[in-house]
Amino acid sequence: MTQHAITSSAILQGKVLIVDDQEANVILLEQILLREGYQAISSTMKSSDVCELHRENNYDLILLDLQMPEMDGFAVMEELKKIEKDGYLPVLVITAQPNQKLRALKAGAEDFITKPFEMAEVLVRVHNMLKIRLLNKELHNYNNELEQRVCERTAELKEGYQETILTMTRAAEHKDEDTGAHVQRISYYSRVLSEALGMDDEFIENIFFASPMHDIGKIGVPDHVLLLKPSGFVQDEWEIMQEHAAMGAKILGNSKSPYLKMGAEIALNHHERWDGSGVIQMEKKAMKFPYQHEL
């Protein structure tokens, strides 16, 4: 953000709407403000037009008379509240009745001007109100800018995680000739199954990127074991092969990334059976049950 003070020039360019059913008052206020150098002054004598005009022009300040036929200043403020969702009404009420000031402030006006007009008072209040309005706008823009920056950084971070995952997965694939298309299929199967189970978007995205890492522990399995067919394993080799699940969890564990956290859990359990007998049974009957992917 380019932070700077609100300049006098910016204040003089603030968009002002004068609302009064008395033409003399409108002309007088216009003259006071134009003489001071304000450049964007509009006016209306029809209170029912105020909201439509504000919607079109997004005024920085509305000088609003309270006593008007048909729709008075209070009714106008109620309508303006529907436009200004954050609750801040850029309204400076004009009143000749001191007892209405408090009610006007409670109704959402930010300040008031008393009739008959005192030029110095009008100018000070208009200047101050516009300054606050412009500061608010600047703050609002700054917040939007920050929000956008956070979104961009988050997207970059996410992209970085995803790239890391793909790189690690490729490293594991490099060790195991069979896994190429297999790991990609796992991603898509996991996503489809998660969607069918009604999991939320975050879970579905996490599992899409986490599931291809299930065999990452094979990085730690020696090539001469990895390249053997299950039927060719001897007891020791079989046990080494089985360790790839825990090894994968160890590689991916202790991470803050939701992808890696889920990846660790998947790696650890990806040979588990539906009845929970997977790892234990495999250990017990290692020689009887050939090693095979269950996913």
C-alpha triplet 281, 285, 288: angle, nearest 5°: 130
Window contacting Fe ion (CB under 5 A); options: 15-23, 138-146, 197-205, 209-217: 209-217
Using CA of residue 203, residue 214, residue 184, residue 231, what is the dihedral sign? negative
Any long-range contacts for 111-118 (C-beta under 8 Å, 24+ apart)?
113/63, 115/25, 117/25, 117/28, 117/29, 117/32
Query: How many binding residues for Fe ion (CB under 5 A)?
Result: 1
- Candidate segments 103-111, 134-142, 205-213, 215-223, binder of Fe ion by CB under 5 A: 215-223
Rounded CA gap, 27 and 43, in Å?
9
Is there binding between residue 215 and Fe ion (CB under 5 A)?
yes
φ/ψ of 255, rounded to 5, equals -110, 155
User: 224 near 233, Cβ under 8 Å?
Assistant: no
Read off the amino acid at residue 255: S
Residue whose CB is less far from Fe ion, 275 or 294: 294
* Least Cβ distance, residue 138 to Fe ion (angstroms): 56
SS3 at position 220:
helix
Stretch that binds Fe ion, among 29-37, 58-66, 196-204, 208-216 (CB under 5 A): 208-216
For the window 17-56, what string marks contact with Fe ion as x by the rule CB under 5 A? Answer: ----------------------------------------
Q: How far is the CB of 139 from Fe ion (least distance, A)?
A: 54
Residue nearest to Fe ion (CB): 215
Q: Which helix (H) or strand (E) holds 15?
A: strand 15-19
To Fe ion, the closest distance from the beta carbon of 150 in angstroms equals 38
CA dist., res. 226 & res. 2, Å (int): 58
Is residue 253 classed exposed, middle or buried when 0-12, 13-18 and 19+ CB atoms within 10 A define those classes? Answer: middle
For 149-154, the CB contacts below 8 A with 24+ separation are: none
DSSP-assigned states of every residue in 50-100: HHHHHHHH--SEEEEES--SSS-HHHHHHHHHHH-TTS---EEEEES-GGG
Smaller CB separation from Fe ion, 100 or 169: 169
Site for Fe ion in 243-272 (CB under 5 A): none
Interaction of residue 176 with Fe ion, rule CB under 5 A: no
Closer residue to Fe ion in complex, CB, 110/215 = 215
Nearest to Fe ion of 89, 251 (CB atom): 251
Q: Interacting stretch for Fe ion, rule CB under 5 A, among 93-101, 141-149, 184-192, 211-219?
A: 211-219
Stretch of residues binding Fe ion (CB under 5 A), selected from 30-38, 98-106, 164-172, 214-222:
214-222
Query: End-to-end alpha-carbon separation of the chain, Å?
Result: 50
Please, which residue, 133 or 214, has the CB nearer to Fe ion?
214
Closest to Fe ion by CB, 111 vs 243, is 243
Q: Least distance to Fe ion from the beta carbon of 224, Å?
A: 18
Interface with Fe ion, residue 65, by CB under 5 A: no
Nearer to Fe ion, 40 or 295 (CB): 295
Binding site for Fe ion (CB under 5 A): 215
